[in-house]
Structure 1
Amino acid sequence: MEQLRTIGRELAMGSQGGWGQSKEFLDLVKSIGEARSKAEEDRIISRELDHLKRRLADPDVPRRKMKELLLRLVYAEMLGHDASFGHIHAVKMTHDESLPLKRTGYLAVALFIDERHDLVILVVNTIQKDLRSDNYLVVCAALTAASRLIGEEAIPAVLPQVVDLLAHPKEAVRKKAVMALHRFYQRSPSSVSHLVSNFRKRLCDNDPGVMGATLCPLYDLILEDPNAYKDLVVSFVNILKQVAERRLPTSYDYHQMPAPFIQIKLLKILAVLGSGDKSASGHMYTVLGDIFRKGDTASNIGNAILYECICCVSCIFPNSKMLDAAAETTSKFLKSDSHNLKYMGIDALGRLIKINPDIAEQHQLAVIDCLETLMTL
């Protein structure tokens, strides 16, 4: 609930930056934040929805004011109330020529309805038109909506345009096109099975964001058939090495860690490709060792990378040096004062002892300590 209130405050503050009159929205957010019970909150939202019904029915509402009314509808639905009477207004706003209003319309539609909703058919034609726009921001908004709203039956209607956008000069468009194709694959694998080579090509994209987005559909494809992607092991290892060596722009850093989410996805992929494959695993040992040596245990994201590295080592063809490094990192987790890290340590230890049961012996006391801690909670 607190997260919803925070988002509401951010929307309200955003409306001060040129979204028109917003005092009513600010008052709404304030009153909800001060509500002393769920019943009181429900009464506030019910009054707000009655007010919005009257305002939306007024044909003379200024377009910019309509934008704020839609955002207030979004906020009401976020709090669990039915604002279906306003859904058609969100659909209408996706047709607007004004970029801020169109993007607001797409945002609201994507939150209000799904692929099974009766209003989707009214949005598909708009998405098709906007995918051909010269304004890349309009194209991005349409791709985002397509990922949410285009169901299996409508995929063929937009698929050719989305594929063409993989070669768009703007990296933001290419990234969202990859994400849209991934979503189509999740909904109907047969619809995009002939486009697998496009994901391989985007792995070599000059923009790290596009490359990182491509890892998600490739991971799903690799889970289905690892043998079809064994030839990419060296490429994945080289990418992971470049990321770990901080060759990516610092804009991809998170808490001083270089592109950690890309690292984690790559480690997941390598774990699948290296499973039971000595040759493929042999390409991975060096970069995995580097990650263990440079690992940062001072931050949550650093520990997340190290944990995923342990998971990878426990899945690929066993190597004594890698197992030793993984066991050492696991020991640090188990000795931590953080219950979360202790849990990670227990989980990591469970993975490692399946490969080498002797690893458990040196951590017996730590495991007992964790059990005693659990008993006191």
Structure 2
Amino acid sequence: MGSQGGFGQSKEFLDLVKSIGEARSRSEEDRIVLNEIETLKRRIIEPDIPKRKMKEFIIRLVYVEMLGHDASFGYIHAVKMTHDDNILLKRTGYLAVTLFLNDDHDLIILIVNTIQKDLKSDNYLVVCAALNAVCRLINEETIPAVLPQVVDLLNHPKEAVKKKAVMALHWFYQQSPSSVSYLVSNFRKKLSDNDPSVMGAALCPLFDLITIDANSYKDLVGSFIKLLKILALLGSGDKHASEQMYTVLGDLIRKSDSSSNIGNAVLYESVCCASAIHPNTKLLEAAADAISKFLKSDSHNLKYMGIDALGRLIKLSPGVAEQHQLAVIDCLELNVTT
């Protein structure tokens, strides 16, 4: 069998990976993989294969498929591995079947019962593995078999489970909107979850729903404003995270509708967010332009918002104060006369 190499894999497996990596042509790679297929077809049906070795065989099957060849002769062994009580083996089995199968494959029926059982597990890692499979393998016909368990998991104490449960419901909606239409309110609720990853997961199905019927979701604007507060926290002191926000924040600042209260609220929170995250010159310039709209407004409330936002911006870009000093003096004089 060969000695055990790194990551617990055998020398035989490591040699396979090495030889594929060193192949100088597609034909040479195909020859190596076809030889591997013949080896696996022989070895995978041997009696009393140790679980550790079967796990390796399953991973080697994944390699075969990744390289464009057919490993369907071994699919059933991946399905059987999802039944294992060992968490590492079970997760390997689930990973393999989600890569191997589609939601109308004949073997799906053999997995549904296992998924039902694992969704009720006390081990959240098992639950997550099952939810991953749900998001790839459950079709319109099998949704009713797992739907109640998935809905229950929306209130699981672990954020990772809640996030994947939201993703599973989104998958159900994509497969059969009518089957989960009465559960759409759950996406709204999870938009207010304490964990950003759960909120982020809820945004995906809400985008689909709002695309179809925007009017029914106008009341969520307040919740979306809260997302800007969360972005400010996530980007504070983190250059990489902040860089992912620059384009969206810039668009929000430039395109927000300043003729409505909601539009001004979004604009104000966008400026505050731009002031809280790792600084970007163009974004700060756009924020300064937005502040001028507030300061020049006839509304006392908007003037106050402008002064507050200016105070935040000055900490990053002191030069901004100069261009707005006359407007600030006007605000002071207004305060005195009123």
1:27 aligned to which of 8, 11, 15: 15
1:64 aligns to 2:52 (yes or no): yes
Other-structure match for 1:368: none
1:302-357 Cα offsets, whole Å, 9 max, x none, are 99xx7xxx9xxxxxxxxx849x9xxxxxxxxxxxxxxxxxxxxxxxxxxxxxxxxx
SS class of match (1:119): helix
Q: Work out whether residues 5 and 14 of structure 2, in 8 Å CA contact, stay in contact via their aligned partners in 1.
A: no
1:267-317 Cα offsets, whole Å, 9 max, x none, are 99x89xx7899454232111333456677698xxx99xx7xxx9xxxxxxx
SS class of match (1:283): helix
Amino acid at match of 1:197: S
1:203-233 Cα offsets, whole Å, 9 max, x none, are 1222221111111111111111111111111
1:88 aligned to which of 76, 81, 84: 76
**Distance across 1 between alignment mates of 2:44 and 2:135:** 28
Q: 1:15 to 1:170 in 2, by over 3 A?
A: farther
Which has the higher mean CA deviation after the structures are superposed, 205-214 or 143-152? 205-214
SS class of match (1:35): coil
With normalisation by structure 2, the TM-score equals 0.75
Amino acid at match of 1:220: D
With normalisation by structure 1, the TM-score equals 0.68
In the TM superposition, what is the alpha-carbon distance from 1:153 to its structure 2 partner? 1.0
Other-structure match for 2:89: 101
1:286 aligned to which of 268, 272, 276: 268
Other-structure match for 2:124: 136
1:46-91 Cα offsets, whole Å, 9 max, x none, are 0001101111010221111100110010011001000000000000
Q: Work out whether residues 143 and 177 of structure 1, in 8 Å CA contact, stay in contact via their aligned partners in 2.
A: yes
1:5-51 Cα offsets, whole Å, 9 max, x none, are xxxxxxxxx9833x4x4211211111111111000000000000110
Other-structure match for 1:227: 215
**Distance across 1 between alignment mates of 2:204 and 2:259:** 22
Structure 1: any 5+ residue segments left out of the alignment? 1-13, 311-319, 325-377
1:110 aligned to which of 90, 98, 101: 98
1:16 aligns to 2:10 (yes or no): no
In the TM superposition, what is the alpha-carbon distance from 1:192 to its structure 2 partner? 1.1
Q: 1:295 to 1:202 in 2, by over 3 A?
A: closer
Q: Work out whether residues 15 and 68 of structure 1, in 8 Å CA contact, stay in contact via their aligned partners in 2.
A: no
**Distance across 2 between alignment mates of 1:15 and 1:220:** 47
SS class of match (2:68): coil
In the TM superposition, what is the alpha-carbon distance from 1:190 to its structure 2 partner? 1.1
Count of matched residue pairs: 286
Q: Work out whether residues 82 and 90 of structure 2, in 8 Å CA contact, stay in contact via their aligned partners in 1.
A: yes
Q: 1:158 to 1:52 in 2, by over 3 A?
A: same
Other-structure match for 1:256: 240
2:147 aligned to which of 159, 164, 174: 159
**Distance across 1 between alignment mates of 2:89 and 2:260:** 55
Q: Work out whether residues 106 and 142 of structure 1, in 8 Å CA contact, stay in contact via their aligned partners in 2.
A: yes
**Distance across 2 between alignment mates of 1:257 and 1:61:** 47
Q: 1:200 to 1:59 in 2, by over 3 A?
A: same
1:179-209 Cα offsets, whole Å, 9 max, x none, are 1111111111111111111111111222221
Q: Work out whether residues 64 and 70 of structure 2, in 8 Å CA contact, stay in contact via their aligned partners in 1.
A: yes
Percent of aligned pairs sharing the same letter: 61
Q: 1:139 to 1:265 in 2, by over 3 A?
A: farther
Q: 1:178 to 1:43 in 2, by over 3 A?
A: same
Q: 1:210 to 1:34 in 2, by over 3 A?
A: same
Amino acid at match of 2:240: Q
**Distance across 1 between alignment mates of 2:263 and 2:15:** 59
Other-structure match for 1:210: 198
| Aligned-pair Cα RMSD in Å | 3.4
Q: Work out whether residues 216 and 265 of structure 1, in 8 Å CA contact, stay in contact via their aligned partners in 2.
A: no
In the TM superposition, what is the alpha-carbon distance from 1:242 to its structure 2 partner? 3.0
1:104-146 Cα offsets, whole Å, 9 max, x none, are 0000000000111000011111101111111111111000001
